[in-house]
A = this chain, B = another copy of it.
Amino acid sequence: MLQFKSSNFANTCILKLIYELFTTKEFCFFVPKIDTLRALEIKSTGYSAFFCSNFYELTNDYFSNIKNRYSNFVVLLDENTSKHCLSPLLIEIDFLKNALFIEIESGEQNKNINTCIKIWEQLSHIKADRNTLLINLGGGVICDLGGFVASTYKRGIDFVNFPTTLLAQVDASIGGKVGVDLLSQKNMVGLFSNPKAVFVYPAFTTTLSKRQLSSGFAEVIKHALIADDSLWKLIKKYTLSANTVSPFIEKSIRIKNQVVKQDFEEKNLRKVLNFGHTIGHAIESLSLQKDKNPLLHGEAIRIGMLCESYLSHKIAGLSKKQFNEIIQYLIADLPANKIKLADFATLLDFMRNDKKNQETTINFSLLTEIGKCKINCTSSSELIYESLEFYRKLRG
């Protein structure tokens, strides 16, 4: 019997060709079923993330069970996931070839309410009822925006996530935060709404550029810094590659899931996940507003972690030694973008309008030591400027 190795999707054209061959009327009965290791199930509140070493096993469980529960299947994707990730999905989940496919343009700049309107309208045009399942096949934008569209279409339809970027696998697909940006402010419109399931398939990361891979790894680094010093030790010795990143993804999901399960609506503990994000989100927002080729989320978070490590050292008790250790590691892979002194005020303004704040104080989650994070820290504007200046000088 034919067997497809799915450890590398770079050659999706061949897969597509094989798919087309096997799904023509004459050959469809040949579609192979391969018995593989079962998926690793990471249980969250009301749903599970399935960590799948092999794509094919998915149908064995989840999709064969839910096939008859829904009246419509709609796949949300972008031009990249359409090209690189759709074929393997269609080969395995045969009945999805009759699904509706809604393709949006990739990129954070399209994560806005206008894109939502287009999708809501398309769902309405096909008369998608409340028993429709939306399948988000993509990175953070698709998972966040698709989750929001699903949670608000006809007061909520079910959705599942197939995160295809490293960033989405370790961050956006888990935790139930869905939403879109508004006025260059990250995730200003959204809500908490869990998917029915998440399918994390590390092999998708082989389709990513080095830049995207590195961006996603920023969240793995964050998870280590806030909660797991042994993971941090592994990271320091590790050279990032899509082929070997799998254990880091699993560990990362487990850390995030542990935090989210205890505080879904971010009243307290969950705020630890915001380390690097107060300054990072401001830098990302500014870049989205003014750069032709804006920073990726993880790139901005790397800068944010660098600045907030500075704050951690100054006001949260992070030792000089550990601070230097973090800086030394982060500096080796920083994005090319520079921050100008003239931008500091704008960045502070973005921080002031961050979701995490209460009134005019800016809220930080800072490291007390590697592996431990303290929430609800506040800093003077002067110190925030100082941390930005620290990065600016470091960057040269």
Contact = CB atoms under 8 A, between A and B. Distances in A.
A177 interface: yes
A129 interface: yes
B124 A355 contact: no
A123 to B, nearest CB: 9
A353 B128 CA distance: 8
Interface string A46-68: 00000000000000000000000
B359 A120 contact: no
Given A113-B117, A183-B124, A152 B189 contact: yes
A71 B359 contact: yes
A131 B190 CA distance: 16
B357 A189 contact: no
A179 interface: yes
B156 A120 contact: no
B191 A151 contact: yes
Contacts of A185: 124
Interface string A168-185: 000000000101001101
Contact of A129 (B71, B153, B189, B358): B358
The quantity of this chain's copies bound in the complex is: 2
Contacts of A151: 191
Nearest to A148: B152
A192 B191 CA distance: 12
Interface string A268-306: 000000000000000000000000000000000000000
A352 interface: yes
A155 interface: yes
A192 B154 contact: no
Contacts of A188: 120, 124, 153-154
Given A155-B177, A177-B155, A190-B152, A355 B120 contact: no
Interface string A336-367: 00000000000000001101011110000000
Contacts of A357: 129-130
Contacts of A71: 358-359
Contact of A355 (B113, B130, B359): B130
B155 A124 contact: no
Interface residues of A, number: 35
Interface in A243-259: none
Interface in A126-164: 127, 129-131, 151-156
A176 to B, nearest CB: 10
A327 B274 CA distance: 61
A79 interface: no
Nearest to A356: B130
Contacts of A113: 113, 116-117
A94 interface: no
Interface of A: 71, 113, 116-117, 120-121, 124, 127, 129-131, 151-156, 177, 179, 182-183, 185, 187-192, 352-353, 355, 357-360
Given A131-B359, A155-B192, A155-B355, 18 more contacts: A71-B358, A113-B116, A120-B189, A121-B183, A124-B353, A130-B355, A130-B357, A130-B358, A131-B358, A151-B191, A152-B179, A154-B190, A155-B177, A155-B179, A155-B187, A155-B190, A156-B191, A191-B191
Q: Considering the complex of A and B, which 7 residue pairs feature the smallest CB-CB distances, nearest first? A: A154-B355, A71-B359, A127-B353, A155-B190, A152-B189, A155-B191, A129-B357
